[in-house]
Amino acid sequence: MWIDTHCHLDAPEFDVDRSDVIARARAAGVTLQVVPAVMPSTFESARQAALDAQGAYALGTHPLYAHRAGRDPVAALAAALQQHGADPRLVAVGEIGLDHFVPELQDPASRRAQEGLYAAQLALAAEHGLPVILHVRRSADLLLKHLRRLRDAGRPVPGGIAHAFNGSAQQAQAFVELGFCLGFGGAMTFDRALQIRRLAASLPDHALVLETDAPDIPPHWLYRTAAERAAGAVSRNEPAELPAIGAVLAGLRGGSIEQTRARTTHNALTALPRLRGLGVLL
Protein backbone atom coordinates (compact mmCIF):
# COMPACT_ATOMS: atom_id res chain seq x y z
CA MET A 1 0.00 0.00 0.00
CA TRP A 2 1.15 3.52 -0.84
CA ILE A 3 -0.20 6.46 1.17
CA ASP A 4 -0.59 9.87 -0.44
CA THR A 5 -0.28 12.07 2.64
CA HIS A 6 -1.40 15.26 0.86
CA CYS A 7 -3.95 15.22 -1.94
CA HIS A 8 -6.59 17.91 -2.58
CA LEU A 9 -9.04 15.40 -3.98
CA ASP A 10 -11.93 17.82 -3.44
CA ALA A 11 -10.40 20.43 -5.78
CA PRO A 12 -12.57 21.64 -8.68
CA GLU A 13 -10.04 20.16 -11.13
CA PHE A 14 -11.36 16.72 -10.17
CA ASP A 15 -15.07 17.51 -10.40
CA VAL A 16 -15.46 15.96 -13.85
CA ASP A 17 -13.83 12.61 -13.10
CA ARG A 18 -13.19 12.23 -9.36
CA SER A 19 -14.36 8.63 -9.27
CA ASP A 20 -12.00 7.75 -12.14
CA VAL A 21 -9.12 9.48 -10.34
CA ILE A 22 -9.84 7.39 -7.24
CA ALA A 23 -10.03 4.23 -9.32
CA ARG A 24 -6.71 4.98 -11.05
CA ALA A 25 -5.07 5.56 -7.68
CA ARG A 26 -6.30 2.23 -6.35
CA ALA A 27 -5.16 0.45 -9.50
CA ALA A 28 -1.70 1.96 -8.96
CA GLY A 29 -1.62 0.71 -5.37
CA VAL A 30 -2.32 4.08 -3.75
CA THR A 31 -5.02 2.85 -1.41
CA LEU A 32 -5.10 5.75 1.02
CA GLN A 33 -5.18 9.50 0.47
CA VAL A 34 -5.22 12.27 3.06
CA VAL A 35 -7.37 15.20 1.91
CA PRO A 36 -6.59 18.51 3.69
CA ALA A 37 -9.15 21.30 3.67
CA VAL A 38 -8.02 24.85 2.86
CA MET A 39 -10.76 26.91 4.56
CA PRO A 40 -14.09 26.37 6.34
CA SER A 41 -16.12 26.37 3.13
CA THR A 42 -14.14 23.31 2.00
CA PHE A 43 -14.40 21.37 5.27
CA GLU A 44 -17.36 19.35 4.02
CA SER A 45 -16.02 18.81 0.50
CA ALA A 46 -12.70 17.56 1.90
CA ARG A 47 -14.55 15.20 4.26
CA GLN A 48 -16.79 13.92 1.47
CA ALA A 49 -13.88 13.38 -0.93
CA ALA A 50 -12.12 11.38 1.77
CA LEU A 51 -15.24 9.28 2.28
CA ASP A 52 -15.55 8.70 -1.47
CA ALA A 53 -11.94 7.50 -1.60
CA GLN A 54 -12.18 5.58 1.69
CA GLY A 55 -9.35 7.77 2.88
CA ALA A 56 -8.79 10.43 5.53
CA TYR A 57 -9.09 14.19 5.88
CA ALA A 58 -7.74 17.17 7.80
CA LEU A 59 -9.46 20.44 8.69
CA GLY A 60 -7.93 23.89 8.81
CA THR A 61 -7.41 27.19 7.00
CA HIS A 62 -4.45 27.53 4.63
CA PRO A 63 -2.59 30.87 4.87
CA LEU A 64 -3.26 31.65 1.20
CA TYR A 65 -7.01 31.31 1.77
CA ALA A 66 -7.26 33.28 5.00
CA HIS A 67 -8.75 36.31 3.23
CA ARG A 68 -11.57 34.09 1.89
CA ALA A 69 -12.14 32.09 5.06
CA GLY A 70 -15.03 34.09 6.51
CA ARG A 71 -15.25 36.21 9.61
CA ASP A 72 -13.86 33.75 12.14
CA PRO A 73 -12.07 30.72 10.69
CA VAL A 74 -10.74 29.79 14.14
CA ALA A 75 -14.26 29.50 15.55
CA ALA A 76 -15.29 27.52 12.48
CA LEU A 77 -12.41 25.10 13.03
CA ALA A 78 -13.20 24.77 16.73
CA ALA A 79 -16.83 23.91 15.89
CA ALA A 80 -15.79 21.40 13.21
CA LEU A 81 -13.34 19.67 15.53
CA GLN A 82 -16.07 19.44 18.15
CA GLN A 83 -18.48 17.99 15.58
CA HIS A 84 -16.11 15.53 13.89
CA GLY A 85 -13.56 14.90 16.63
CA ALA A 86 -14.60 11.27 17.05
CA ASP A 87 -14.51 10.53 13.31
CA PRO A 88 -11.62 8.10 12.73
CA ARG A 89 -11.09 9.59 9.27
CA LEU A 90 -10.26 13.01 10.76
CA VAL A 91 -6.51 12.55 11.21
CA ALA A 92 -5.05 16.06 11.53
CA VAL A 93 -5.54 19.80 11.63
CA GLY A 94 -4.48 21.16 8.27
CA GLU A 95 -3.53 22.53 5.93
CA ILE A 96 -2.33 25.33 8.18
CA GLY A 97 0.89 27.31 8.33
CA LEU A 98 2.64 30.39 6.99
CA ASP A 99 3.53 31.60 3.51
CA HIS A 100 6.37 34.10 3.28
CA PHE A 101 6.77 33.69 -0.47
CA VAL A 102 3.65 35.07 -2.20
CA PRO A 103 4.38 38.81 -2.64
CA GLU A 104 0.90 40.14 -1.90
CA LEU A 105 0.92 38.54 1.56
CA GLN A 106 4.21 40.00 2.76
CA ASP A 107 3.14 43.37 4.14
CA PRO A 108 3.37 43.55 7.96
CA ALA A 109 -0.40 43.39 8.51
CA SER A 110 -0.78 40.28 6.34
CA ARG A 111 2.10 38.56 8.06
CA ARG A 112 0.64 39.33 11.49
CA ALA A 113 -2.75 37.99 10.40
CA GLN A 114 -1.17 34.80 9.07
CA GLU A 115 0.77 34.28 12.27
CA GLY A 116 -2.24 34.86 14.49
CA LEU A 117 -4.33 32.40 12.48
CA TYR A 118 -1.57 29.80 12.55
CA ALA A 119 -1.01 30.13 16.30
CA ALA A 120 -4.73 29.81 17.06
CA GLN A 121 -5.16 26.73 14.86
CA LEU A 122 -2.03 25.17 16.34
CA ALA A 123 -3.49 25.64 19.83
CA LEU A 124 -6.70 23.88 18.76
CA ALA A 125 -4.67 20.96 17.41
CA ALA A 126 -2.86 20.67 20.74
CA GLU A 127 -6.16 20.88 22.63
CA HIS A 128 -7.67 18.04 20.58
CA GLY A 129 -4.50 15.95 20.52
CA LEU A 130 -4.28 16.03 16.73
CA PRO A 131 -1.15 16.26 14.58
CA VAL A 132 -0.88 19.08 12.06
CA ILE A 133 -0.22 19.28 8.33
CA LEU A 134 1.90 22.37 7.78
CA HIS A 135 2.29 24.69 4.81
CA VAL A 136 5.94 25.77 4.89
CA ARG A 137 7.15 28.37 2.39
CA ARG A 138 10.12 30.43 3.57
CA SER A 139 8.55 30.31 7.03
CA ALA A 140 10.11 27.31 8.78
CA ASP A 141 11.73 29.21 11.65
CA LEU A 142 8.53 30.99 12.67
CA LEU A 143 6.50 27.78 12.39
CA LEU A 144 9.04 26.08 14.65
CA LYS A 145 8.94 28.96 17.13
CA HIS A 146 5.22 28.45 17.76
CA LEU A 147 5.56 24.67 17.98
CA ARG A 148 8.30 25.05 20.60
CA ARG A 149 6.27 27.61 22.50
CA LEU A 150 3.40 25.17 22.93
CA ARG A 151 5.80 22.37 23.82
CA ASP A 152 7.49 24.48 26.47
CA ALA A 153 4.10 25.45 27.89
CA GLY A 154 3.26 21.76 28.38
CA ARG A 155 0.71 21.71 25.54
CA PRO A 156 2.66 20.10 22.69
CA VAL A 157 1.26 19.39 19.25
CA PRO A 158 1.70 15.65 18.62
CA GLY A 159 3.83 16.04 15.51
CA GLY A 160 2.53 15.77 11.98
CA ILE A 161 3.87 16.52 8.52
CA ALA A 162 5.76 19.52 7.13
CA HIS A 163 4.25 19.44 3.65
CA ALA A 164 6.32 20.04 0.48
CA PHE A 165 9.38 20.76 2.59
CA ASN A 166 12.07 22.94 1.02
CA GLY A 167 13.98 24.37 3.95
CA SER A 168 17.50 23.86 5.19
CA ALA A 169 18.94 20.69 6.65
CA GLN A 170 19.02 22.39 10.06
CA GLN A 171 15.33 23.30 9.82
CA ALA A 172 14.50 19.78 8.67
CA GLN A 173 16.28 18.36 11.71
CA ALA A 174 14.38 20.74 13.99
CA PHE A 175 11.04 19.50 12.64
CA VAL A 176 12.15 15.88 13.02
CA GLU A 177 13.15 16.52 16.64
CA LEU A 178 9.62 17.82 17.27
CA GLY A 179 8.14 14.58 15.97
CA PHE A 180 7.41 15.62 12.39
CA CYS A 181 7.88 13.87 9.08
CA LEU A 182 8.72 15.85 5.96
CA GLY A 183 6.62 15.53 2.81
CA PHE A 184 8.26 14.95 -0.58
CA GLY A 185 6.45 14.90 -3.92
CA GLY A 186 6.63 16.09 -7.50
CA ALA A 187 9.22 18.82 -6.92
CA MET A 188 11.74 16.15 -5.91
CA THR A 189 11.57 14.63 -9.42
CA PHE A 190 13.20 17.66 -11.10
CA ASP A 191 16.97 17.44 -11.50
CA ARG A 192 17.31 21.17 -10.83
CA ALA A 193 15.62 20.89 -7.39
CA LEU A 194 19.02 20.38 -5.79
CA GLN A 195 18.18 21.25 -2.18
CA ILE A 196 15.02 19.13 -2.11
CA ARG A 197 16.86 16.19 -3.66
CA ARG A 198 19.74 16.52 -1.18
CA LEU A 199 17.30 16.42 1.71
CA ALA A 200 15.41 13.49 0.21
CA ALA A 201 18.67 11.58 -0.13
CA SER A 202 20.16 12.38 3.27
CA LEU A 203 17.41 12.62 5.89
CA PRO A 204 16.91 9.69 8.28
CA ASP A 205 14.68 6.88 7.04
CA HIS A 206 12.01 7.68 9.63
CA ALA A 207 11.69 11.31 8.54
CA LEU A 208 10.15 11.02 5.06
CA VAL A 209 6.63 10.61 3.74
CA LEU A 210 5.33 10.81 0.18
CA GLU A 211 2.67 13.12 -1.23
CA THR A 212 1.37 14.42 -4.53
CA ASP A 213 -0.37 17.69 -3.54
CA ALA A 214 -2.64 16.80 -6.47
CA PRO A 215 -3.80 18.52 -8.58
CA ASP A 216 -0.73 20.72 -7.94
CA ILE A 217 3.07 20.18 -8.02
CA PRO A 218 3.12 17.75 -10.95
CA PRO A 219 6.24 15.59 -11.35
CA HIS A 220 8.62 16.35 -14.19
CA TRP A 221 6.94 13.90 -16.59
CA LEU A 222 3.70 15.90 -16.34
CA TYR A 223 5.29 19.34 -16.48
CA ARG A 224 4.13 21.76 -19.18
CA THR A 225 5.85 25.00 -20.13
CA ALA A 226 3.99 28.29 -19.99
CA ALA A 227 3.71 28.25 -23.77
CA GLU A 228 2.26 24.74 -23.72
CA ARG A 229 -0.26 25.73 -21.06
CA ALA A 230 -1.23 28.80 -23.05
CA ALA A 231 -1.88 26.51 -26.02
CA GLY A 232 -4.27 24.43 -23.91
CA ALA A 233 -2.01 21.69 -22.52
CA VAL A 234 -3.09 20.44 -19.11
CA SER A 235 -0.74 19.50 -16.29
CA ARG A 236 -2.95 18.00 -13.59
CA ASN A 237 -1.30 15.86 -10.95
CA GLU A 238 -3.09 12.77 -9.56
CA PRO A 239 -2.55 10.41 -6.63
CA ALA A 240 -1.88 7.60 -9.13
CA GLU A 241 1.50 9.27 -9.79
CA LEU A 242 2.69 8.50 -6.25
CA PRO A 243 4.43 5.15 -6.98
CA ALA A 244 6.51 6.76 -9.74
CA ILE A 245 7.40 9.61 -7.37
CA GLY A 246 8.32 6.95 -4.82
CA ALA A 247 10.60 5.33 -7.39
CA VAL A 248 12.49 8.63 -7.70
CA LEU A 249 12.91 8.72 -3.91
CA ALA A 250 14.16 5.13 -3.97
CA GLY A 251 16.73 6.07 -6.61
CA LEU A 252 17.95 9.07 -4.63
CA ARG A 253 18.37 6.98 -1.48
CA GLY A 254 19.78 3.88 -3.14
CA GLY A 255 17.01 1.59 -1.92
CA SER A 256 14.40 -0.55 -3.58
CA ILE A 257 10.93 0.64 -4.49
CA GLU A 258 9.45 -1.94 -2.11
CA GLN A 259 11.61 -0.72 0.77
CA THR A 260 10.58 2.85 -0.01
CA ARG A 261 6.91 1.94 -0.10
CA ALA A 262 7.11 0.07 3.20
CA ARG A 263 9.13 2.76 4.97
CA THR A 264 7.09 5.77 3.81
CA THR A 265 3.84 3.95 4.61
CA HIS A 266 5.11 3.17 8.12
CA ASN A 267 6.17 6.80 8.54
CA ALA A 268 2.77 8.09 7.44
CA LEU A 269 1.04 5.83 9.97
CA THR A 270 3.39 7.14 12.65
CA ALA A 271 2.97 10.82 11.75
CA LEU A 272 -0.83 10.52 11.52
CA PRO A 273 -1.66 7.75 14.02
CA ARG A 274 -5.40 7.67 13.30
CA LEU A 275 -4.57 6.26 9.87
CA ARG A 276 -3.78 2.97 11.58
CA GLY A 277 -7.41 2.61 12.60
CA LEU A 278 -8.58 2.86 9.00
CA GLY A 279 -7.22 -0.58 8.22
CA VAL A 280 -10.49 -2.10 9.35
CA LEU A 281 -12.44 0.43 7.28
CA LEU A 282 -10.71 0.02 3.93
Binding-site residues from annotation: 6, 8, 95, 135, 163, 213
Who contacts 27 (Cβ-Cβ below 8 Å, separation ≥6)?
A: 240
Can you say how many angstroms the Cα of residue 174 is from the centroid of all Cα atoms in its chain?
18
Does residue 241 contact residue 34 with C-beta atoms inside 8 Å?
no
Which residues fall in the annotated binding site for a divalent metal cation?
A: 6, 8, 95, 135, 163, 213
Residue 56's CB: how many other CB atoms inside 10 A? 29
Instruction: Give the CA-trace dihedral at 214, 218, 223, 225, to 10 degrees.
Output: 70
Among residues 97, 126, 28, 56, which one has the least CA distance to residue 276?
A: 56
The helix/strand/coil state of 191 is coil
The helix/strand/coil state of 190 is coil
